Amino acid sequence: MGSPRLRDPLRRRPFRRLALSYAVNELGDWLGIVALSVLVFDLTGSAMATALLFIGTGFLPALLTPVMVARLERPPPHFVLPSIYAGEAAAFGALALLAGHFSLAGVVVVATIDGALALTARTLTRAVSAAMLEPEGELRAGNAILNVAFTSGAALGPAVAGLVVAAFGVQSALLLNAVSFYAIACILLTARPLPQPEPEPGARILERVRAGLGYIRRQRTLRRLIGAQAAALVFFSAVIPIEVVYAKQTLGVGDTGYGIMLGSWGAGMVLGSVIFATRRNASLPLLLFFSTIAIGAGYLGMAAAQTLPAACLASVLGGTGNGVQWVAVVSAVQELTAQSMQARVIGTLESLARATPGVGYLLGGLIASGWSPRATFLVAGVGVMAIVVASSALLGRNWPQGQGKGRPGSIDAADELMVELIPAEVLSSPNRRS
């Protein structure tokens, strides 16, 4: 079978609906992120309070998501996904009410519920897409399209949120967010039935959760790939809770400038998604290596930037790496995972991607409080580059090309195979967010 064209998955009406919902979901998430970070910082004036918001809404959903995925992977996704998005809409309606009667604890609790729903929806969308596209050999093309949808929402979301917050206030942004999630629910509810992955049998939810974790432990390549990404995410995420402080205090720009700066990262992500889409046959290790380098260089550039335009240029560079790096990891994980374990393995990856950054959020908040936001960007950039260098010690002779879905042990049969963030073929040449 020849390599599928990028537009081939779009011939499927259900996939078009999934891709559209993915874009609107990301747009809505950014509206919430910007609005809540501005709300907490303006009312507390504390970088640590902003960091605690991100820790609470990142770590706790990661604990809940594997259980929710194991519970919801069995009912028809045609009904489950719209229900999840309706729940998110209700959560952002509640957050809009809390904006007028502020309680940091209340905001964190409701945002935690929304975070768990968002991760579960994202996981199930990926699993449904894999069930739909993998039999036709279109999974990587479909991932490229979902990545374009994801990064388009990331590019528009921060800028729109900054403008809405500046012009109408936090409550308007949160209410608009609620409307966007109701729109997603309607989009998916009116789609024809979506294909349902066939999970492995298991009578109890916790048994299915343990089975998913056991599957990852047995697959050496898969385990090390997920572990390497989790380590990198600590530094990727260190700057997230202090970006609002960096924009408003270090650079001296307001809410609109903060939104523009985040939007420039999103614009870079769109560029990165286009690169991944047009390089679908490129080596995944090569894509991971150069995209990770780009993220680290973007952070170092923002540490040195003295003006908003300079910070935005560095942000575009980092965003470009971000737009390639995450989808390359997801593609590799899906290719290494049996169909019956797709939801649980992707759920674990999404949970780690939400939980591990809690360490980064705390690190970033402590550095910004003790030194400055610039120091946080500097430490993050150096840390990312250090991971690239350290990962060279995990060189493997080959990145596994076969999926081995029906014979999971074959991927790791050779003792010398090791997953690395840096590919061996790159380091032998004369010549790196999420």
Smallest CA-to-CA distance from 236 within 298, 314, 155, 169 is with 298
Percent of the chain with pLDDT over 90: 15
Q: Cα–Cα distance between 180 and 365 in angstroms, integer?
A: 31
| pLDDT one-digit tens code per residue, 393-403 | 553 444 554 44
Q: Cα–Cα distance between 221 and 100 in angstroms, integer?
A: 49
**Alpha helix stretches (DSSP H) within 73-169:** 77-100, 104-133, 139-168
pTM of the model: 0.66
Q: Is the pLDDT of residue 379 over 90?
A: yes
CB neighbours of 367 closer than 8 A, spacing ≥ 6?
A: 238, 375, 376, 379
The phi and psi torsions of 392 (rounded to 5 degrees) equal -65, -20
Longest dimension (CA), the chain: 60
Single-letter amino acid, residue 205: I
> Worst-scoring range by mean pLDDT, 30-34, 321-325, 326-330?
30-34
Q: Cα–Cα distance between 147 and 324 in angstroms, integer?
A: 9
The phi and psi torsions of 428 (rounded to 5 degrees) equal -80, -5
Smallest CA-to-CA distance from 121 within 173, 200, 174, 64 is with 64
Number of neighbours of residue 361 by Cβ within 10 angstroms = 26
What b/e readout covers 403-416, taking b as 16+ CB neighbours within 10 angstroms?
A: bbbeebeebbeeee
Q: Cα–Cα distance between 319 and 362 in angstroms, integer?
A: 22
Q: Cα–Cα distance between 60 and 272 in angstroms, integer?
A: 30
Q: Is the pLDDT of residue 66 over 90?
A: no
Smallest CA-to-CA distance from 82 within 182, 153, 2, 5 is with 182
Q: Cα–Cα distance between 122 and 385 in angstroms, integer?
A: 29
Q: Cα–Cα distance between 342 and 340 in angstroms, integer?
A: 6
Number of H helices, E strands in the chain: 16, 0
Using 50, 70 and 90 to split pLDDT, how confident is the model at 295? very high
Residue with tokens 């400055």: 372
Average of per-residue pLDDT across 94-122: 86
Q: Is the pLDDT of residue 206 over 90?
A: no
> Three-state SS string across 214-263, please?
HHHHHCHHHHHHHHHHHHHHHHHCCCHHHHHHHHHHHCCCCHHHHHHHHH
Of residues 309 and 229, the one with the higher pLDDT is 309
Residues 358, 112 contacting (CB under 8 angstroms): no
CB neighbours of 324 closer than 8 A, spacing ≥ 6?
A: 272, 273, 275, 276, 287, 290, 291, 294
Q: Could you tell me the two tokens for 349? A: 């990856």
Torsion of CA 425, 324, 198, 187, to 10 degrees: -170
| pLDDT one-digit tens code per residue, 15-41 | 888 888 887 777 777 778 788 888 888
Q: What does pLDDT average to over the chain? A: 78
Q: Could you tell me the two tokens for 115? A: 């975070």
Of residues 161 and 84, the one with the higher pLDDT is 84
3-state secondary structure of 422: coil
Using 50, 70 and 90 to split pLDDT, how confident is the model at 279? confident
Q: Cα–Cα distance between 2 and 137 in angstroms, integer?
A: 9
| pLDDT one-digit tens code per residue, 133-169 | 877 778 778 888 887 777 777 667 767 777 878 888 8
CB neighbours of 203 closer than 8 A, spacing ≥ 6?
A: none
- Domains in the chain with CATH codes: 8-427 (1.20.1250.20)
Q: Is the pLDDT of residue 2 over 80?
A: no
Using 50, 70 and 90 to split pLDDT, how confident is the model at 429? very low
